[in-house]
Structure 1
Amino acid sequence: MSDDDQQEQGLADSTDVYVEPAAPDPFLIDSDASDEETELPPAVTPTTPNVNKDMPPPPSESEEEAPEMYLPGLVLPTMFLPIPNTDPLTTLLNKYIHPPERRPARDVSGEWQKANFHTMVMSNSWRALARMARDRIVTADPEDLALVLACLSRLRLFNQTSVECTNLFSVLNAVEPSDAKSYLFEKLLPFELEVMYARLKFWAGDHMTYLDALNGLLRKCKVKSRRAPKSDPTSSAMWRERGARISLIIASQLMEMKEFGSSTKLLESLCNQTEATSALRSAIARIYLQAGYIHKASTHFSLVEQDPEAPEGIKDMNRALLACANGEWDYATETLTDLLEKEPENFVGIETLERALSASPASVVVAEPFLFNLSTLYELRSATATQKKLELLIEVAKWSGDGLKASCLKMASN
Structure 2
Amino acid sequence: MADGEYLSADSAQSQETSEISNIYGEPDAVGASEPMFTSPPTSTVYIEPEVPDPFLIDDEEDSDEDTGVTPTELQHTIVSADEIPLAPANPVSLPLNSLGSPLQSPNRNKAVPAPPLSDSDEEDAPELYLPGLCIPTMFLPIPNTDPLTTLLNKYIHPPDKRPVRDLQGEWQRTDFHTLVMSNSWRSLARMARDRIVTSDPEDLTLILGLWYLRLSSLARLRLFNQTTAECTNLFSLLHAIEPPAARTWLFDRVLPFELEVMHARLKYWTGDHMAYLDALHALLRKCKNRSRRAKGEPTAVAMWKERGARVCLILASQLMEMKDYAAAAKLLEPLCEQGEGVASPALRSAVARIHLQSGNLGAAERHFALAAADPNIPPATRAMNAALLAAADGDWPQASSILHDEVLAESPDNYVAVNNLCVALLSQGRLKEGIDAMETALRASPENVVIAEPFLFNLSTLYELRSATAIENKRNLLIEVAKWSGDGLKTTCLKMPTT
TM over 0.5: same fold? yes
| Contact map agreement 2:292 2:301 (CA 8 A) in 1 | yes
- Give 1:288's aligned amino acid: H
Match of 1:394 in 2: 479
Q: Quick one: structure 1 residues 112 and 36, their matched pair in 2 at CA, closer, same or farther if it must change by over 3 Å?
A: closer
| Contact map agreement 2:291 2:304 (CA 8 A) in 1 | yes
Percent same amino acid among aligned pairs?
Answer: 60
Match of 1:289 in 2: 356
Q: Quick one: structure 1 residues 144 and 301, their matched pair in 2 at CA, closer, same or farther if it must change by over 3 Å?
A: closer
Partner residue of 2:55 out of 4, 23, 27: 27
Partner residue of 1:196 out of 240, 262, 266: 262
Structure 2 distance, partners of 1:357, 1:238, is 39
Give the Å deviation of 1:89.
0.6
Give the Å deviation of 1:188.
1.0
Q: Does 1:333 align with 2:418?
A: no
Q: Does 1:262 align with 2:327?
A: yes
Q: Relative to structure 2, which stretch is displaced further, 94-103 or 184-193?
A: 94-103
Q: Quick one: structure 1 residues 298 and 76, their matched pair in 2 at CA, closer, same or farther if it must change by over 3 Å?
A: same
Query: Which SS does the other structure have where 1:159 is aligned?
Result: helix
TM-score by length of 1: 0.85
- Give 1:267's aligned amino acid: L
CA displacement, residues 28-49 of structure 1 (integer Å, 9 cap, x when unaligned): 43454574359xxxxxxx9968
Q: Does 1:111 align with 2:188?
A: no
Match of 1:9 in 2: none
When the two chains are superposed, the root-mean-square deviation of aligned CA atoms in Å is 2.7
| Contact map agreement 1:268 1:284 (CA 8 A) in 2 | yes
Give the Å deviation of 1:59.
3.1
Structure 1 distance, partners of 2:109, 2:257, is 17
Structure 1 distance, partners of 2:276, 2:381, is 33
Match of 1:299 in 2: 366
Q: Does 1:363 align with 2:448?
A: yes
Q: Which has the higher helix share?
A: 1
Match of 1:131 in 2: 190
Give the Å deviation of 1:179.
1.0
| Contact map agreement 1:313 1:339 (CA 8 A) in 2 | no
CA displacement, residues 76-111 of structure 1 (integer Å, 9 cap, x when unaligned): 211111111111110111111122222111111112
CA displacement, residues 105-161 of structure 1 (integer Å, 9 cap, x when unaligned): 111111222222222222222111111111121222323322211221222541241
Structure 2 distance, partners of 1:95, 1:335, is 39
Query: Which SS does the other structure have where 2:335 is aligned?
Result: helix
For structure 2, the residue ranges without an aligned partner over 5 or more in a row are 1-41, 67-86, 88-105, 220-226, 423-433
Match of 1:10 in 2: none
Query: Which SS does the other structure have where 2:125 is aligned?
Result: coil
Match of 1:210 in 2: 276
Match of 1:173 in 2: 239
TM alignment of 1:2-401, pairs within 5 A: 15-33=43-61, 35-37=63-65, 51=110, 53-61=112-120, 64-160=123-219, 161-230=227-296, 232-274=297-339, 276-311=343-378, 314-315=381-382, 318-319=385-386, 321-322=388-389, 325=392, 329=395, 333-334=397-398, 336-337=400-401, 339-344=403-408, 345=412, 346=417, 347-348=421-422, 349-401=434-486
CA displacement, residues 304-329 of structure 1 (integer Å, 9 cap, x when unaligned): 354455455555554555456556x5
Structure 1 distance, partners of 2:162, 2:108, is 39
Q: Quick one: structure 1 residues 308 and 74, their matched pair in 2 at CA, closer, same or farther if it must change by over 3 Å?
A: closer
Q: Relative to structure 2, which stretch is displaced further, 272-281 or 347-356?
A: 272-281
Q: Quick one: structure 1 residues 135 and 325, their matched pair in 2 at CA, closer, same or farther if it must change by over 3 Å?
A: closer
- Give 1:333's aligned amino acid: P
Give the Å deviation of 1:235.
1.3
- Give 2:255's aligned amino acid: L
- Give 1:174's aligned amino acid: A
| Contact map agreement 1:282 1:304 (CA 8 A) in 2 | yes
CA displacement, residues 215-264 of structure 1 (integer Å, 9 cap, x when unaligned): 1111111111111151x311110110000000000000100110001000
Give the Å deviation of 1:16.
3.8
Query: Which SS does the other structure have where 2:334 is aligned?
Result: helix
- The number of aligned residues is 390
Give the Å deviation of 1:272.
2.5
| Contact map agreement 1:158 1:403 (CA 8 A) in 2 | no
| Contact map agreement 1:375 1:410 (CA 8 A) in 2 | yes
Give the Å deviation of 1:18.
4.0
| Contact map agreement 2:383 2:407 (CA 8 A) in 1 | no
| Contact map agreement 2:388 2:399 (CA 8 A) in 1 | no
| Contact map agreement 2:51 2:331 (CA 8 A) in 1 | yes
Give the Å deviation of 1:387.
1.3
Q: Relative to structure 2, which stretch is displaced further, 126-135 or 262-271?
A: 126-135
CA displacement, residues 340-387 of structure 1 (integer Å, 9 cap, x when unaligned): 333445423322222222222223222223222322322332423211
| Contact map agreement 2:356 2:392 (CA 8 A) in 1 | yes
| Contact map agreement 1:104 1:394 (CA 8 A) in 2 | yes
Structure 2 distance, partners of 1:172, 1:350, is 52
Query: Which SS does the other structure have where 1:383 is aligned?
Result: coil
Q: Relative to structure 2, which stretch is displaced further, 286-295 or 395-404?
A: 286-295
For structure 1, the residue ranges without an aligned partner over 5 or more in a row are 1-13, 39-45
